[in-house]
Amino acid sequence: MTERIIPVTDLRKQLVLPTIPSPLIPATGLLADKLARPLRDLRISVTDRCNFRCVYCMPKEVFDKDYQYLPHNSLLSFEEITRITKIFIAHGVEKIRLTGGEPLLRKNIEKLIEMLASLTTLDGKPLDLTMTTNASLLAKKAQSLKDAGLKRVTVSLDSLDEATFQRMNDVDFPVSDVLNGIDVAHRVGLQSIKVNMVVKGGMNDQEIVPMARHFKGSPAILRFIEYMDVGASNGWKMDEVVPSAEVVRRISAVMPLVEVEPNYTGETAARWRYVDGGGEIGVISSVTQAFCGDCNRARLSTEGKLFTCLFATSGHDLRALMRGDYSDAQITAAIAHLWSKREDRYSELRTINTDGLSQAVRKVEMSYIGG
């Protein structure tokens, strides 16, 4: 039996206190890193818990019944999340994505959404407030989420075939409940619903065309994500990656596609439109076509560590500043200092040397900071 490794534990115990520069750096809304990338998108993990055990994210052999989740008092409170969000907005953030774990497991999540929905961007516009969910509770909560101010929702769904989907979520959760959650979300008025399918070769790649056919012409936009080497618990191998080019080829062979321009700078998904007008799909090529060059995303873990890359090896403890005797001006300066020194481009480096880099670096788990 191979030894189990849970690298996320090490990262949760790290106490890397951010530097507070002197003199303090004020927020101008124009903050950029060393590669001239602005800060526009903040992804906030609100819980490290999930009721699925997806093989590419929280495999059951690692995240078993004995796995120790963070105690509640370690999590950022809703007030702390709102405070830090205001600071990030002052630096230019316009989009907030709530993630997990499974964010709908966080008690009273609607209250947090209501608090965040009251905030505006620097130019006075509403925040682009969205959430990623496995949809297990979406049908039950969609109306209250919409009423609280949630704008959009992204649903993870890796197969329409019951056996394949249950093998991937590893808790025997039925496809029909996820599809119902998507339908209810649309009916209550959540806009621009996206459905994310992680494609793992040899496990669910036979579902590429059936998924495309199902969502073609529907209100939802289906996006295919290359199986990524996030963390170490999923046993990632390059030969299990199905390139986005192959995904597009398979779909276009039966339902012709044409590539279209991105909606905005930094969009992670390349867009393809059905020639017959049946909507569009997206492909996220995080392995075969790195998009580090315009990455404008920061990630905040559920207990307040800031990560400047999905593939980071360490985080910076903003919770310690918020719970210490530090002012908003000092925290603002600390974040500015961190981002201004950012030069992360793991995916580009991995593209050059995939095997060597992925084996040498112990990276943060996706279940810890969200996708």
Task: With respect to residue 51, please indicate whether it lies within any of the assigned structural domains.
Answer: yes
What per-residue confidence (pLDDT) applies to 9?
44
Sign of the CA dihedral 252, 254, 256, 261?
negative
Q: Residue 206 is part of a domain; what is its CATH number?
A: 3.20.20.70
Task: With respect to residue 329, please indicate whether it lies within any of the assigned structural domains.
Answer: yes
- Domain encompassing residue 92: 7-369
Per residue in 54-104, pLDDT (tens digit) is 888 888 988 998 999 999 999 999 999 999 999 999 999 999 999 999 999
Question: 3-7, 32-36, 318-322: which has the minimum mean pLDDT?
Answer: 3-7
Contact, 185 vs 150, CB < 8 A? no
Contact, 133 vs 153, CB < 8 A? yes
3-state secondary structure of 13: helix
Number of domains in the chain: 1
| Preceding omega of 243 cis (within 30 degrees of 0) | no
Task: With respect to residue 32, please indicate whether it lies within any of the assigned structural domains.
Answer: yes
Answer whether residue 214 shows pLDDT above 90: yes
Question: 82-91, 196-205, 228-237, 313-322: which has the minimum mean pLDDT?
Answer: 228-237
Task: With respect to residue 63, please indicate whether it lies within any of the assigned structural domains.
Answer: yes
What per-residue confidence (pLDDT) applies to 347?
63
Task: With respect to residue 1, please indicate whether it lies within any of the assigned structural domains.
Answer: no
pLDDT band with cut points at 50, 70 and 90 for residue 40: very high
Task: With respect to residue 2, please indicate whether it lies within any of the assigned structural domains.
Answer: no
Higher pLDDT, residue 13 or 282 = 282
Contact, 129 vs 176, CB < 8 A? no
Q: Tokens 């279209």 label which residue?
A: 260
Q: What is the mean pLDDT of the chain?
A: 89
Residue 316 DSSP class: E
For every residue of 233-260, DSSP letters joined together read: TT---GGGB--HHHHHHHHHHHS-EEEE
Task: With respect to residue 44, please indicate whether it lies within any of the assigned structural domains.
Answer: yes
Per residue in 139-174, pLDDT (tens digit) is 999 999 999 999 999 999 999 999 999 999 999 999
Rounded to two decimals, the pTM is 0.89
